[in-house]
Amino acid sequence: MKAVQVTGYGDVDMLEVVDIRIPTPKKGEVLVKVKACAINNTEIWMREGAYGTEEKSGWRPEGVQFPRIPGSDITGEIVEVGADVSETLLGKSVVLFPFTSSGAEGSEHISDDMSFIGSEYDGGYAEYVAWPSELCYDMPLSAYEESAVFSVSGLTAWHMVEQIQAQPSETIVITGANGGVGSLNVQIASKVFGSKVIALVGDLALEDKMKELGATHVLSYKSPNLAEEIVEVNGGPVDSVLDVVGDALFETSLEVLKKGGKFCISGSAGGQKTQLDFRTLYLKHITFYGSVLGTREEFKRMLDAISEGKIKPVIDRTFPLEQAGEAQTYFKHSGKLGKIVLLP
Ligand SMILES: NC(=O)c1ccc[n+]([C@@H]2O[C@H](COP(=O)([O-])OP(=O)(O)OC[C@H]3O[C@@H](n4cnc5c(N)ncnc54)[C@H](OP(=O)(O)O)[C@@H]3O)[C@@H](O)[C@H]2O)c1
């Protein structure tokens, strides 16, 4: 089969298009013919070694074993079953839950043995992938491309919104709101949980599209008066911030939060390290939440919300699988809206 492998930590030239054997599904697994695989920052940071500062950067302390096929947001058709898997699954169109874990229900995402497709296992930058049958779910929409754009960013966004227990009466500031996670945070917070959303983007040309996704107000993170603008449009400080940007907007986030406010972070696209004045934290009674992915129950709740039409796929652009390098380079451009998808 045709696949794209990461051959080691480094730049985009560490991606190589190869012809390799189709994997054989083991006991409990199915073979999925990949129809679409959406890109996440996760696999770009995996290649760049950005999850750590040493040679063994990765989700697991032992680092990534190269060569590795990246890609975690996968939809496709089941074309073969391993031992102990019912043949009735053959021909089913599925979306893959992106990690294995022995953690108890509700704690899968914080288990030490959590292992991620595209990092600890070969992933979806390929024509076929083998995956446990119990982690394959019915597609929420009829199109493969559209059903592929939720797995990692949607699960991450859903878990963040559940963590802060967003309420209809509340206002939530969402950073990186035009990106993969942020555009889903906007939709989930507003259309599923009914909260008022202030979306932060770089380019205000995206304002109408962000409002279609559910934002009440759209502001630019480039404004020198951002904190004042947030408080002004909301008529006061906000209840929560859902953040994927990190350092670049941290000070603003703490400034606009009300007393007793919540700050939930799952990414640091705008800087991984920051400064914190502890007095702000305790004098404002702010609660911090760190967030990675989510649980299988949350994944199911998210798929239901997608099937019900509450959350829509937002696709910026598609690329053929062979152009994975160009697609990852494009992913890093400012101002895209939603997800980039690879099509084998
Ligand atoms: N914890 C988890 O489970 C999890 C899961 C998925 C992703 N993540 C992380 O979440 C982050 C976002 O991922 P993504 O897939 O949504 O990426 P993305 O699609 O590239 O979106 C990044 C967003 O951040 C904004 N941004 C970047 N630099 C900024 C800055 N200096 N100031 C203000 N805004 C800035 C971008 O705005 P412009 O378009 O204007 O540049 C864009 O809206 C990444 O760090 C990723 O690793 C974490």
Q: Residue 150: pLDDT above 70? A: yes
What is the per-residue pLDDT for 63?
77
| Consecutive H or E run containing 229 | helix 226-234
42 Cα: distance to centroid of ligand 1 (angstroms) = 10
Quickly list DSSP for 36-74: EEE--HHHHHHHHTTT-SSTT-SSSTT---SSB----EE
CA distance 145 to 264: 29
Banded pLDDT at 55 (limits 50, 70, 90): low
Q: Tell me, in angstroms, the distance from the centre of ligand 1 to residue 30's CA.
A: 32
Q: pLDDT digit string (tens) for 216-263?
A: 999 999 999 999 999 999 999 999 999 999 999 999 999 999 999 999
What pLDDT score was predicted for residue 56? Answer: 66
Whose structure tokens read 């929409």? 141
- The residue whose CB lies within 8 Å of the most ligand 1 atoms, and thus the one to mutate among 48, 181, 230, is 181
CA of 329 from ligand 1 middle (Å) equals 14
- Ligand 1 centroid – CA 334 distance (Å): 10
Domains 2-149+313-343 and 154-290 agree in fold: no
Name the fold adopted by 2-149+313-343.
Quinone Oxidoreductase; Chain A, domain 1 (3.90.180)
Domain boundaries defined on the chain: 2-149+313-343, 154-290
- State which ligand 1 atom lies nearest to the alpha carbon of 266: 1
Q: Which of ligand 1's atoms lies nearest the C-alpha of 183?
A: 16
CA–CA–CA angle 295, 298, 303 (5° rounding): 130
Please give the CATH topology (third level) of the domain spanning 154-290. Rossmann fold (3.40.50)
